[in-house]
Structure 1
Amino acid sequence: MFARLQPILPTAAILFLIFYFVFHALTGERGLLSTSERNADLAAKTRELRKIRAERMDLEARARLLCSGSLSADLLEERARSLLGYADPKDFVIRTKR
């Protein structure tokens, strides 16, 4: 019985390998059928990057205002009040949860 199957074995092995690689090329992590998932991930990461860049630009602008060469009195007062927990009697204080 093994003698009858011996000529078919190389062909079967090659067909199995072809099937294996085609299957993973279509359905794998980077397969052809997962492009929509990758595009959604890319869009989410792009939005996150824009948000982080905007935060960074804001922080850099605030840091520039706190440099000794161009010290902004208003920003310094705002930061001191925020850190110390003080408010001017004429200020309206609205507390929010973080």
Structure 2
Amino acid sequence: MILNEIRRRARHVIGPFLGLTAVVYFAYHTVQGDRGLLAWWRLNQDIKQAEESLAQLEEVRDNLDHRARLLRPDHLDADMLEERARLMLNMGRDDEVIVLRPHS
């Protein structure tokens, strides 16, 4: 008798329980899964960080490109040439004061 009563009630509970379990499963993976909302947010943060790094690197590249253009034979800048020669030869004039900075 008790077993029959449990079986009869279980039939009414099993369907909603399985449905609720499926909803909870999919809701969890919508937020926490590999392609969930948190992963999407992290990916957007990584993209923003990569774009900032790219902007910094492009700025450094543009600066180096500008300095290289100043050393080209068709447009040789005398100040740049003197700066590079002093740096390469490790020399200066007698009337100059040289301030050494640590490399960054």
| TM-score range for the pair, normalised by the shorter chain length | 0.5 to 0.7
Partner of 1:86: 91
Paired with 1:87 and 1:69, the residues of 2 have a C-alpha distance of 26
Paired with 2:65 and 2:76, the residues of 1 have a C-alpha distance of 14
Partner of 1:66: 71
Partner of 1:48: 53
Partner of 1:5: none
Paired with 2:33 and 2:61, the residues of 1 have a C-alpha distance of 37
The offset of 1:94, in angstroms, is: 2.0
1:26 aligns with 2:31: yes
The offset of 1:29, in angstroms, is: 3.9
Larger Rg: 2
Question: Identity of counterpart residues, as a percentage?
Answer: 33
CA RMSD of aligned residues (A): 3.4
Would you tell me which structure has more helix in proportion to its own residues?
A: 2
State the aligned residue count: 91
Paired with 1:57 and 1:49, the residues of 2 have a C-alpha distance of 12
Query: What stretches of structure 2 of length at least 5 have no aligned partner?
Result: 1-17
AA partner of residue 67 (structure 1)? R
